[in-house]
Amino acid sequence: LSKRMKKSIEKNMKQSTLHADNIKDTLREIRLALLEADVNVDVVKALIANIKEKAEGGYIEEGVKAHQQMVKLVHEELITVLGKENAPLNLSKKPTVIMMVGLQGSGKTTTTNKLAYLLSKKNAKKPLMVGLDIYRPGAIDQLIELGQKSNIPVFEKGKQSPLKTAKQAIEFAENNGHDVVLLDTAGRLQIDKELMNELNELRKSTSPSEILLVVDGMIGQEIINVTNEFNSLLKLSGVVVTKLDGDARGGATLSISYMTKLPIKFIGEGEGINALAPFYPKRMADRILGMGDIETLFEKAVENIDERSMQKTMKRMFMGQYDLEDLRNQLGQMAKMGSLSGLMKMIPGAGKLSETQIEDAQRKLVVFSIIMDSMTLKERREPKLLKSLTRKNRIIRGSGRTEKEFNELVNNFEKGKKQVMEMTKMMKQGRMPNFGG
Ligand code: GDP
Ligand code: MG
């Protein structure tokens, strides 16, 4: 082949990886995914236009399939909008005052408690929570109750003016070694002047390091107006989007980031005390695109692991009982021990695996965990129940995974079970399996 012809073929091959037709198809898919994830329609339009321009502008990598290129492009675009990195709290001041604001029912009180708990666990802080919602009946009691669960003290002065209580609370914090003061302020059903004035006065007299708006991620399009109004008056330092539990796809975060440019610092994923996660743009981009929130799942497994469950599993294995519940516990345990790639290095023979193979394996483990999460405890304890087509279909639908992945899990489990049984037999005979190589 002449050099020139070779070049021309190469060029054509490159073009064929990403041309107008598959750009259009993929964009349609992505548009649907974004709308499904509840992203604001205007934001979707703007994003798609942006991506289209880039795709047509010759965003091409050799040897990568068109579809993958498009997904990568969109992924990068979403991450850019969502803020690239996690925006941490500014905790430098002593004490750090964090003011929580938002509409009634958005999750302020719950989030105040979750955040205080997180700061005490992760940052070894000594937080103080301050009940300032003197309007809603039972609001302060709610905070006190939550504080008992999280073991975080609550400062409150009943119906006394919030301004006065806040000042006293900061003084109390200074005198008692509390390095973070979280102000749980009052909300209203709608934004009103009186509330805003009160919040503004509070802001002026407590000079908070952080003013966090707590918004309900399920309120839909209204979320942008609410955020803008609070921001224009209080100059927010960040946003916490709540109620992004389970299958909520989190499109609200993208709308907020795009329209207000405020950093999202945390997301609420449930009512429990642990259900607050730092906001990671990359993970949210994955989630919005439906790629599975892999890293967060891993982190959860690490946090929630129970040391005893490992021992229990070992014991059960010795007794010849090994089911999907045990497998699930083990996967959690593996996640706790760190990344799979670190783990693999310790296993002889596994060193030959490439980084991509390890990544694939890791992804598979997550997929398996997701599928097992959609099973009932009974199904995990009695895997033979999974032969029922109704159950199988329900689990596949519930987990959002494919039949292929489901079958793979079941087959892997069967294979694994055999190995486990062999191993325990050997161990019972006093022959330890030879891991040393
Ligand atoms: P506030 O009026 O802003 O203080 O809101 P609350 O903290 O009292 O929360 C209102 C309701 O929303 C409560 O029932 C909370 O348990 C619930 N809630 C708050 N955050 C979340 C979350 O992330 N997920 C879920 N599912 N519920 C939440
Ligand atoms: Mg409240």
**CATH numbers and ranges of domains, the chain:** 3-82 (1.20.120), 96-288 (3.40.50.300), 304-428 (1.10.260.30)
Residue 189: nearest ligand to its CA? 1
- pLDDT at res. 340: 57
Classify 190 as helix, strand or coil.
coil
Classify 35 as helix, strand or coil.
helix
Nearest partner of 369 among 393, 399, 398, judged by Cα: 399
**230-239 pLDDT, tens per residue?**
999 999 999 9
Beta strands in 175-307 (DSSP E): 180-184, 210-216, 238-242, 264-268, 276-278
Q: How far is the CA of 140 from the centre of ligand 2 (A)?
A: 8
Nearest partner of 21 among 87, 58, 62, 66, judged by Cα: 66
Residue 242: nearest ligand to its CA? 1
- pLDDT at res. 240: 98
Residue 132: nearest ligand to its CA? 2
Counting every residue written for the chain, the total comes to 437
Q: Which residues surround ligand 2, an ion (CB under 5 A)?
A: 108-109, 133, 139
Which residue CA neighbors atom 28 of ligand 1 most closely? 271
Which numbered atom of ligand 1 lies nearest the CA of 136?
2
Place of tokens 């992760």: 122
Q: Which residues line the annotated binding site?
A: 102-109, 184-188, 242-245
Splitting the chain (437 residues) into consecutive groups of 10 residues, what average pLDDT does each group show? 48 50 74 83 91 75 60 84 90 94 96 96 91 93 96 96 97 96 92 90 97 93 91 96 85 93 95 94 83 44 49 70 81 61 50 66 79 90 92 90 91 83 73 44
Q: Fill in the DSSP letter of residue 383.
A: G
CA angle 340, 345, 348 (to 5 degrees): 120
Q: Which residues line the annotated binding site for GTP?
A: 102-109, 184-188, 242-245
* Count of other CB atoms within 10 angstroms of residue 102: 26
Mutation choice for ligand 1 from 183, 244, 271, 273, CB with most ligand atoms inside 8 A: 271
**Is the four-CA dihedral 186, 190, 192, 197 of positive or negative sign?**
positive
Backbone φ and ψ for 277, nearest 5 degrees, come out as -125, 140
Query: Buried (b) or exposed (e) across 54-69, using 16+ Cβ within 10 A?
Result: ebeeebeeeeeebeeb
Cβ partners under 8 Å of residue 21, min gap 6: none
Which residue CA neighbors atom 13 of ligand 1 most closely? 107
Task: Output the six-digit token pair for 80.
Answer: 């850019």
In this structure, the residues whose C-beta lies within 6 A of any atom of ligand 1 are 102, 104-110, 187, 214, 242-243, 245, 268-271, 275
Q: How far is the CA of 229 from the centre of ligand 2 (A)?
A: 19
Strands 276-278 and 264-268: antiparallel
Nearest partner of 79 among 356, 237, 219, 264, judged by Cα: 264
**DSSP string of 321-376, one letter each residue:** ---HHHHHHHHHHHHHT--HHHHHHTSTTGGGS-HHHHHHHHHHHHHHHHHHHTS-
Nearest partner of 205 among 162, 237, 174, judged by Cα: 162
**29-70 pLDDT, tens per residue?**
778 878 878 888 899 999 999 888 887 776 655 555 566 667
What span, in angstroms and rounded, lies between the C-alpha atoms of 270 and 164?
Answer: 32
Residue 134: nearest ligand to its CA? 2
Contact call for residues 190 and 103 (beta carbons, < 8 A)? yes
Measured distance between the N- and C-terminal CA atoms of the chain, rounded to whole angstroms: 51
Cβ partners under 8 Å of residue 384, min gap 6: none
Q: How far is the CA of 46 from the centre of ligand 2 (A)?
A: 36
Q: Which amino acid is at 335?
A: A
Whether ipTM tops 0.95, in short, is yes
Mutation choice for ligand 1 from 99, 103, 110, CB with most ligand atoms inside 8 A: 110
Which residue CA neighbors atom 19 of ligand 1 most closely? 107
Which numbered atom of ligand 1 lies nearest the CA of 244?
23
Contact call for residues 77 and 44 (beta carbons, < 8 A)? no
Cβ partners under 8 Å of residue 391, min gap 6: 379, 385
Which residue CA neighbors atom 9 of ligand 1 most closely? 107
pTM of the model: 0.66
Contact call for residues 331 and 369 (beta carbons, < 8 A)? yes
Which numbered atom of ligand 1 lies nearest the CA of 276?
23
Q: How far is the CA of 139 from the centre of ligand 2 (A)?
A: 5
Contact call for residues 369 and 297 (beta carbons, < 8 A)? yes
Q: How far is the CA of 132 from the centre of ligand 2 (A)?
A: 9
Angle, helix 108-122 to helix 139-150, in steps of 10 degrees:
20
Q: How far is the CA of 105 from the centre of ligand 1 (A)?
A: 6
Residue 250: nearest ligand to its CA? 1
